[in-house]
Structure 1
């Protein structure tokens, strides 16, 4: 019995040694020289079975790798098209900044001036006309006087002046900037009107919140944040609770125009809390929240303003259109961001699969007889296929010798495929990064740049020229 088993095993080994890997070529059965089954130990049955497993895994996984690559390329094409469509849709957000009165509720308006309720010159237009007539007789010394609030009242410390906010820290105030405010509804003499009212009032009643508020308006028109801020803070500190929302509105608007969005939100929200029945407070806060991208709260305050005063609807429709446009863009931008993350995960899986293929191929190669060794030295074989292959060489030092030897061998089919550009992970990663940057540049970054107040100023300046 044991003898029979030995003979069967011997026959199997003999067949393996004899056949190895043969193919039909030119009507002849010849050895396939570049076969992975041309092994170092053709008699080793376990190694031969392992070689089959490695080879099947490598070939099957390579096809999966090609499929993944095509999928990634298609996803890249889709994301590029998606980005181009999104950039086209983004024009509605950019056009918003070219609207002449898109920021009207973040400026001084005649209604804000009237709410102060001065005892005289309540009609702003008439007062401005009177100022224009009298300006010619105003002396140079009188025009040089400015309503500097700190010269008339000391700014206190504590919650009433909001000195705990970052916006009022010395390092922030040093670089405080706000662009000039102009409104054609008020007239060209408004700044001079504000100066005269504020200066006269501060001299007579230095503790009156009304004249500190007027002074903050004047400095806003002049584009002087360093003077406008302390005036608005003093007015907030001095105003009675039932009228505190008026200076809060001015203070919050200054902060917003400075780009201090978080603190502006806090101050404008306080104005709404002090006078929730005033529609204008809701509109100013809603406008600021819209440009802060807080769309849900913005819509809520617009709705409340229109409930309190339906006449605000025509004035807020442009901002509402902007919100709808931007809300849609933000959702789609988030979608493209998620899609990019998905593609990055695809690349990770691609890289992992390629690594596993390389590992298994390395095991495959370890069992093979080198292509450029005894296989190629067989002069009877047709070696044209091998002649056309690339070669790689390396210097090795054999055991028991100090002399390095140059070994050269031919690339196998799988080696050449794994190193081809078709599945080059670096190329795919580079394409993904370039595509991602392009999409973000066209959509997210460019849109957000347009939201910068400096960009707003430049856009309006371009339009006016």
Structure 2
């Protein structure tokens, strides 16, 4: 019986070597089922060549002591692995912590990798937050472009509707130049319920008139903003230059004052040093 098993095992080994070096290759040829049965894998080369003989061979050697012990050992290991996986899934325990608990000396080796993982997770969260900000800005830019288009269309419509105002500004008979730069806004107001409505007219600047009439030109606003910014920048620059000059003058005054104080102190120290030089002579005379 042992010789027969050796012969069969040698045949299977030769078949394994032949299939491993053949055109069809596979790594795992058998699958261990939950009920303990070993079944063939679909991509196994044994399935392509005489599968019935191999099943018969397994039926013949399943009662062999060595094969049975190996099978039981493999089954116990599989049960331990399955129990470990169920335990990890049930308690959601980190595998790194389990390894550190089993082998404490691994803590120092795994800590840098854990720190790297934590930093990458934090970086991923920050990147996602920045990406959400970019998406928000992108949507806002779309709305801004749409609003700018609407403003431009409304501006062109107002220009077409303000032909009388343009003709009044171009009228050569108008002598008041202030009216050419300022608009007049009139409204009817009632001071009390007993009084009649009264007409009030106010003069606005060009910018105020455009804003009140929703006649907003983005290019004009940008040009006015640039002019105002340049004016403010020039004033600030001049102020900084003046302050720098004043600061340099103050530093020069302080330097001159410090030099005068130092010279005065040096003059006071000179007679004192000469007086201290006479003391040893006096002591020598006394002795």
TM-score past 0.5 threshold: no
Q: TM-score, normalised by structure 2?
A: 0.33
Q: TM-score, normalised by structure 1?
A: 0.22
Larger radius of gyration: 2
Relative to total residues, which structure has the larger helix share, 1 or 2? Answer: 2
